[in-house]
């Protein structure tokens, strides 16, 4: 079997949680709120679960769907005239359990709540 064959049969993860922070370069102003708002509008159209915070936007779905929509955010801003875009993406996948991004916060908050109970 040729080396490329097994790579073709290797799937991408069926589920992942990605948090991305997109930065346009070479723009007239240092503000990025207009671009971030456009990203939120695009994510809304995508139908994927997502949530914005002050340092990025978290989105969950299959690896392919999530990476496709982040790439589309780049393309949309390029079409709007931004010539260079840099994103930082933190992405996690796991096989031991199904966990949405909201569950992660709840797990920590539950532990912190026990602090108060034990006082």
d(CA 67, CA 74): 11
| Residue 111 or 117 with smaller CB distance to a copy of itself | 111
Number of residues binding to a copy of itself, judged by CB under 8 A: 72
| Smallest separation, CB 50 to a copy of itself (Å) | 11
Closest CA to 69 of 99, 94, 93, 89: 89
CB 59 within 8 A of CB 18: yes
| Residue 54 or 117 with smaller CB distance to a copy of itself | 54
d(CA 33, CA 39): 10
| Smallest separation, CB 81 to a copy of itself (Å) | 9
CB 86 within 8 A of CB 70: no
Interface of this chain with a copy of itself, residues 1 to 20, rule: CB under 8 A: 3-4, 6-7, 10-13, 16-17, 19
Interface of this chain with a copy of itself, residues 20 to 59, rule: CB under 8 A: 21, 23-34, 36-37, 40-42, 45-47, 51-56, 58
Interface of this chain with a copy of itself, residues 50 to 109, rule: CB under 8 A: 51-56, 58, 63-64, 67-68, 71-72, 74-76, 78, 83-96, 101-102, 104-105, 107-108
**Sheet harboring 56-61: ordered strands across?**
16-25, 56-61, 49-53
């Amino acid at each position: 079997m040729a080396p490329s064959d097994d790579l073709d049969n290797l799937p991408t993860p069926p589920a992942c949680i990605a948090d991305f922070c997109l930065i346009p370069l070479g723009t007239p102003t240092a503000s990025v709120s207009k671009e971030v708002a456009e990203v939120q509008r695009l994510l809304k159209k995508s139908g994927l679960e997502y949530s914005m915070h002050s340092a990025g936007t978290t989105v969950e779905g299959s690896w392919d769907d999530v990476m496709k929509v982040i790439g589309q955010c780049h393309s949309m801003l390029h079409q709007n005239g931004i010539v260079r875009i840099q994103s930082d993406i933190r992405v996690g996948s796991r096989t031991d359990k199904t966990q949405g991004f909201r569950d992660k916060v709840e797990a920590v908050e539950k532990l912190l709540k026990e602090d108060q109970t034990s006082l």
